[in-house]
Structure 1
Amino acid sequence: MEYNRAQEILASPKEFEVSYNGVSIWIDQLHDDGKTATVHLRNAHEERSEVAISELKEEYLVQ
């Protein structure tokens, strides 16, 4: 994922499906370096990790 798209997702009131290593996550914060973000698993709010934004993937649901 690119930094600008991550910013759009974080600022949006809508929910987006984002994954990291195939696991569904929430983006908590984008870091000033423009390369990393703090995320957490959708079901585990207390466990946060710093990951590369380039490793995040937006999942598109097929209807």
Structure 2
Amino acid sequence: MDIQRAQDIFASKDNIAVHLDGEPVWIERVDAANGMATVQVGSRPTDVQTVGVDRLEEQKR
């Protein structure tokens, strides 16, 4: 995924499925300057990771 798409998904009011290494994630923050995103993995609010947006995959319907 590119940084612009990550920002679009983060700003969207729609529920857009995103995965990291096959696991569903919620984008909590996008750091455009560094190409990074902070994501919550699955439904575990304590499992938060900061990863390169290039590792995120949007799940097409």
TM-score normalised by L of structure 1: 0.88
Q: Shift of residue 45 of structure 1?
A: 1.1
> Does the residue aligned with 2:16 lie in a helix, a strand or coil?
coil
Distance in 2 (CA, whole Å) between partners of 1:7 and 1:57 is: 13
Q: Shift of residue 42 of structure 1?
A: 2.6
Q: How many residues align?
A: 61
- Give the unaligned 5+ runs of structure 2: none
Structure 1 outlier segments of 4+, above 3 Å = none
Cα root mean square deviation, aligned: 1.1
The percent identity for this pair of structures is 28
> Does the residue aligned with 1:7 lie in a helix, a strand or coil?
helix
Map 1:42-57 onto structure 2 (within 5 A): 42-57=42-57
